[in-house]
Amino acid sequence: MALLEILEFPDPRLRTEARPVADVSDDTRTLIDNMLETMYAAPGIGLAATQVNVHQRVLVMDVSDDKSKPLVFINPEVTVLDPEQGEYDEGCLSVPGFYETVSRPQRVAVTALGRDGKPFHIQMEGLAAICLQHEVDHLNGKLFVDYLSVLKRQRIRKKLEKDQRERA
């Protein structure tokens, strides 16, 4: 297994729209295992392939308390079950150090392929539903900062650009 490098806002590669996975291969499973290792090491609760510069529709999550329930979604299709929105203070491994309130639908259904390539369908609510929508946004080139005011987004961009300059 291997730790993967995580792209950080405002890297333009985070704006790439990911392509569907045509067949779930050993390469796909290696990507998934490396993404899970990278997510747990961060530590994080969700990671999309876009964030590790792989532009395929693959995401991993684990919202369990003891980090014992890895979830894998390949080619996820999300349906909103209840349009009622809830607020959550979201963060992102690609936007380190920042947490801001975002509103999203609270209940969704998702159809996807699992690590074994087999389709499954589940309903999600609470943090799992929020996290799933956040990760699917990544696959569409969208970031949680896009839901914030221009001013807030600019403040975050300037701080991260400075951090990145100082590291380079």
Nearer to ligand QAP (CB atom), residue 25 or residue 103 = 103
> 110, 115, 88, 93: which is closest to 40 by C-alpha?
93
Q: Which of 84, 135, 161, 166 is catalytic?
A: 135
Nearer to ligand QAP (CB atom), residue 35 or residue 93 = 93
Determine the length of the chain.
168
Is 8 considered catalytic here?
A: no
Distance from the Cα of residue 56 to its chain's centroid: 12
Contact region with Co ion (CB under 5 A), list: 8-16, 68-76, 92-100, 149-157: 92-100
Q: Is 130 in the site for Co ion (CB under 5 A)?
A: no
Contact region with Co ion (CB under 5 A), list: 1-9, 15-23, 53-61, 88-96: 88-96
3-state SS assignment for residue 165: helix
Partner interacting with residue 130 (select from Co ion, ligand QAP, none; CB below 5-8 Å by kind):
ligand QAP
Q: Cβ 117 to Co ion, closest distance in Å?
A: 25
Binding site for ligand QAP (CB under 6 A): 42, 44-46, 88, 90-93, 96-98, 130-131, 134
CA distances from 58 to 36, 61, 89, 125, 133 (A): 11, 11, 24, 20, 13
Burial of 142 (0-12, 13-18, 19+ CB in 10 A): middle
Q: Is 148 in the site for Co ion (CB under 5 A)?
A: no
Partner interacting with residue 96 (select from ligand QAP, Co ion, none; CB below 5-8 Å by kind):
ligand QAP
Nearer to ligand QAP (CB atom), residue 10 or residue 46 = 46
The partner residues of 90 in beta bridges, in order of sequence, read 100
Dist CA 86 CA 76 (whole Å): 21
Q: Cβ 80 to ligand QAP, closest distance in Å?
A: 16
Q: Is the peptide bond before 43 cis (omega within 30 degrees of 0)?
A: yes
Residues known to be catalytic: 135
